[in-house]
Amino acid sequence: MHSTKRALSKRTILLLSVWTVLILLNCAGLIRCIIRYQAGTLERTAFSYSLLHFFIGIASISAIFLAEWLFRFRAGVPLVICCMVFAFCGNCVANVWRLYDVFPAWDMVLHSLSGVLFAAVGLGFASLLLSNQPLGKQKVITVILFTLFFSLSVGFLWEVFEFLVDTINPSSSTQGWAEGILESFPDGTYLVSSRRGTAILDTMEDMILHLTGSLVTLIPLFIAFLKKPARMRSFAFTPLPRRKKSGGQDKDASKDGAPAPGDGQNGTEI
């Protein structure tokens, strides 16, 4: 019991420290944008875009903690840190620190790695949803399919988000329209250099890279899990007891503060 509490305390301190560093770096990037904007080296539309992603960065870096609280699970420390760092690289480094200005291929790197990361996250969620199912080939196939569709759904939702951002502020499009526009017309339409349109090329490239990252991760794991289904436990999330109201206050369902089954086995050790 005491060792579990110590492990949780170390976990909290470590993750809070990483979160604080990333948030401070995000703030530093915004300060840099403000200085550039005041100096006239950053356009207003570009500054607005960076400001938007400053807040998105805070939300995305914190998203893993919200997910743990809502769905009552505890992920492994390495995976939580990877999620926070990826969110920081995807929003803050790319759009607040404006790495895209000097390294446009950064987008391809992020979309490839996102397939890998969200495949790992999907395996964790599958372990929660299918925790009562017996180990075997049927469970392996179900877990892999769920994980693949989960990862692809995240990639799809991100492309929807990019489309919405571009719709709200077309002048700072993330879809590469500016490079392919040959002529613009008063009705808001464009003549572009590709018969498919430039935006759809960017969207499809991003989704293919995400799919590739997911498959590169899941195909070897699928083979490994078929040979030894118990290996799936390496990616499992630790379920936490559900809260229930008692005396007007939220309390864990476990009695006398006892940890839930599995606590201290996955995600609680540093």
For residue 243, pLDDT beyond 90 = no
Q: Would you place residue 268 in the very low, low, confident or very high pLDDT band (cuts 50, 70, 90)?
A: very low
- H-only helix segments in the chain: 2-39, 44-71, 77-87, 106-129, 137-168, 177-180, 198-227
Note the pLDDT tens digit of each residue in 173-203.
555 555 566 677 787 676 766 655 667 778 8
Mean pLDDT across 231-245 = 85
Q: Which two tokens stand for residue 49?
A: 């875009």
In angstroms, how far apart are the furthest CA atoms of the chain?
A: 70
pLDDT for the residue numbered 106: 93
Answer yes or no: is pLDDT of 211 > 80: yes
Burial of 146 (0-12, 13-18, 19+ CB in 10 A): middle
**Domain assignments of the chain as residue spans, ordered by start:** 1-103+237-242+251-270, 104-227
229 vs 262: CA distance, rounded Å: 18
